[in-house]
Amino acid sequence: MKYSHGSNELPASSSFHERVEYAKNYPRGYSEHNSVDYWYDNMFFGRIDQNQDAIYPAAGSVKRLDGKDEVFAINFVADAFNSMRATVGDLMRVGTIPSTGFGILNAGLSASRGWRSPREDYFSFMRELYSDNFFPFLIDPDINEDILNFSDFVEQFTLFVGRYTLLRPYTMTEYITSNLGTPLYSGWAIEIVDSFDHGEDIPKIASYMNDPHFEIYRQIAANNGFNLDKNAPWRLVAIPYAEQISTKMANNEVNLETMVDKLYKRSYLSDIPDLKFYLKEIYNNFVKRKPTVHIPLIKGENRKRSLTRVVKRDIMTDEQYREEWESDNAFWVRLYIYVRAKETNRDWNQYKFDQVSQKAAQFFKYSGKDAAYKFINKEVRRPWGEDKVIGRYRRGNFRFQRK
């Protein structure tokens, strides 16, 4: 393959030109192989279902791959990779693939990375969000002095969300499909090396496309139901309609129609429980770090110039939280809709926000939480391709108020 010099270090115009050259020169091979393009055409493959709902594998549906490292994939993908690995081993034993010299398969086939848990990544993201963004926001004097209790804290949280979600997600549903997510969340992708930068063209070409084993590597992958990621040829991605994958699915008692319901979870079902957990934990952490607040002795006076008294903030106990807050379903539904509508840039007015919140609360009361969550998800998610049509930072003018 001809060399292109695409790199994240290049100016945008030069980088675009080099990416075009890379795509134009990418070899289809003797068998006219297809490929996966996570940069442009297959961005959310395995991370959304047919309704465009964000999904992730249930913990019990992933399986460890054969080999010395602890690498996982969705059970049927793991089985397909194990078959591919065995094929490479057989070809090495009969000499079809030399075990000496230069080539990416000389040492056999092993996995370096596979499924990553979005729950674990999201937890780490939320810790960083709090320490790097939310806590500095809360200790700003103009904000800190207005927080006497959890109700005040929630009010400031909604103001923070209105600013922060311009650039970053807050819920796991939005996190999975944001640029912070990875195709490895799907369970459908396996990487045989983890040392290359996806943004650098030269190592891809030198170490893969121009490798003497590249054609046989790609053919063995296709024979076992895998395509290569065009922009990361060390990444194998299972082909949904491949006969080999269908067989492995059947062995695990699923098919394309039942796979999502049996092996995956829809992230929107855990967003409100997550919101409840994180707000309580963040509030108590904040109180521990900033246990007191100065209140003016004369109401309405400038706090920085007048006499003040020191008030101690209270840690919220589990019992207090359950009685006063956690059981208020209408409040959490309303707060969640506010967060999701802000992070998906819904161009709503106050009437629209109130209307959706009221209807969702009715769903929750009369049809159950799953029906309410489904309704909310349908109302707040981005329609497919919307981000390519409108400005990214379009915002509604609605505000949150506890009813």
**pLDDT tens, residue by residue, 195-213:** 767 667 777 777 777 888 8
Res 236 pLDDT > 70 = yes
Predicted confidence band of residue 222 (pLDDT cuts 50, 70, 90): very high
Q: Is the model's pLDDT at 28 over the cut of 80?
A: no
Mean predicted confidence (pLDDT) in 54-62 = 94
Predicted pLDDT of residue 23: 57
Asked whether the predicted pLDDT for residue 17 surpasses 80, the reply is no
Question: pLDDT at position 306, please?
Answer: 59
Q: What mean pLDDT is predicted for residues 374-401?
A: 76
The model's pLDDT over 295-331, given as tens digits with 9 standing for 90+, comes to 776 655 555 555 777 888 888 889 999 999 999 999 9
| CA of residue 124 relative to chain centroid, distance | 12
Classify residue 357 by burial, with Cβ atoms within 10 Å: 0-12, 13-18, 19+.
Answer: buried
- 291 or 207: which leads in pLDDT: 291
Count how many Cα atoms sit within 13 Å of the Cα of residue 18 in the half-sphere of its side chain.
Answer: 19
Per-residue pLDDT reduced to its tens digit, 322-352? 999 999 999 999 999 999 999 988 989 999 9
At residue 127, the pLDDT reads: 94
The percent of residues in the chain predicted with pLDDT above 70, rounded, is 82
Lowest mean pLDDT among 60-74, 179-193, 245-259, 302-316: 302-316
pLDDT at 302: 55
- Check the CA dihedral 105-106-108-113 and report its sign: negative
Mean of pLDDT values over 344-373: 94
Q: For residue 136, what pLDDT is reported?
A: 95
* Beta strand ranges found along 84-231 (DSSP E): 189-191, 226-229
Q: Can you list the pairs that 347-352 forms with residues at least 24 positions away whose Cβ atoms lie under 8 Å?
A: 347/394, 347/395, 347/396, 348/396, 348/397, 348/398, 349/396, 349/397, 349/398, 350/397, 350/398, 350/399, 352/396, 352/398
- pLDDT at res. 381: 87
Q: Cite the beta strand spans of 65-210 per DSSP E.
A: 72-74, 189-191
**Higher model confidence: residue 106 or residue 287?**
287
Q: pLDDT grade, residue 382 (50/70/90)?
A: confident
Q: Flag whether pLDDT at 1 surpasses 70.
A: no
Q: What is the dihedral of CA 175, 382, 115, 81, to 10 degrees?
A: -170
Amino acid 391: pLDDT: 53
| pLDDT bracket for residue 145 (50, 70, 90) | confident
How far apart CA 209 and CA 218 sit, in angstroms, is: 10
Residue 387: alpha-carbon gap to chain centroid: 17
**% of the chain exceeding 90 in pLDDT:** 57
pLDDT of residue 269: 95
Q: pLDDT digit string (tens) for 267-282?
A: 999 999 999 999 999 9
Q: What is the pLDDT of residue 38?
A: 62
